[in-house]
A and B are shown apart, each in its own frame.
Chain A
Amino acid sequence: AQSVTQPDIHITVSEGASLELRCNYSYGATPYLFWYVQSPGQGLQLLLKYFSGDTLVQGIKGFEAEFKRSQSSFNLRKPSVHWSDAAEYFCAVGGGSNYKLTFGKGTLLTVNP
């Protein structure tokens, strides 16, 4: 069965600092991997995805993520955080003929001025 672990429940960074959100997955074959962002009271918005090819993927809002098969990780990064990045971030995994994505429990990002 596929699973996702986001080890950090809550992260606080200062505006302008760099950011890395961790995601570890469990899946038996090559996974499809996603990062979503959720602003308060809203649905989830897709930031980026990986399914093959270059292991460093670029997304919207200046985010990127790197797929590391040897570490079963797909960490999200941003070089300089803006106050508007404060939100909850979810990593998800899927693959094969399974229709479903499995989501992590999320990491809440707080940005200090």
Chain B
Amino acid sequence: DVKVTQSSRYLVKRTGEKVFLECVQDMDHENMFWYRQDPGLGLRLIYFSYDVKMKEKGDIPEGYSVSREKKERFSLILESASTNQTSMYLCASSSGQLYGYTFGSGTRLTVV
């Protein structure tokens, strides 16, 4: 089975800090995604990547950036964390839409 690993389950950061959320997949998938999940809003796509060093903005990219230097790793960066970025962050990978996504367990980030 494909495994998607997010490095932290819970994080607490201070306002203004630079925050890195890491995601690693072990099945050579081309496509990787970062979503945030908030009650009542469902999953909202932040960024995705369809190849190494390639990235595209999703629906809510403001305040975030991403990095994909290696195929297996996709990092989400909060340049200057703010309290409104407190959320559950979900990483996913896919070899194509036909196969659906495989999700990591999520990182619950609290910005204080």
Contact = CB atoms under 8 A, between A and B. Distances in A.
Contact of B42 (A94, A99, A103): A103
Contacts of B40: 9, 105
B104 A99 contact: no
Interface residues of A, number: 24
Contacts of B98: 32, 51
**Interface of A (DSSP majority class):** loop
B28 to A, nearest CB: 16
Interface of B: 4, 31, 33, 35, 40-43, 45, 48, 50, 56, 58, 90, 92, 94, 97-98, 100-106, 108
Interface of A: 9, 32, 34, 36, 41-46, 49, 51, 90, 92, 94-95, 98-101, 103-106
Question: Which 5 residue pairs of A and B lie closest in terms of their CB atoms, listed nearest first?
Answer: A105-B42, A43-B103, A94-B97, A44-B103, A103-B43
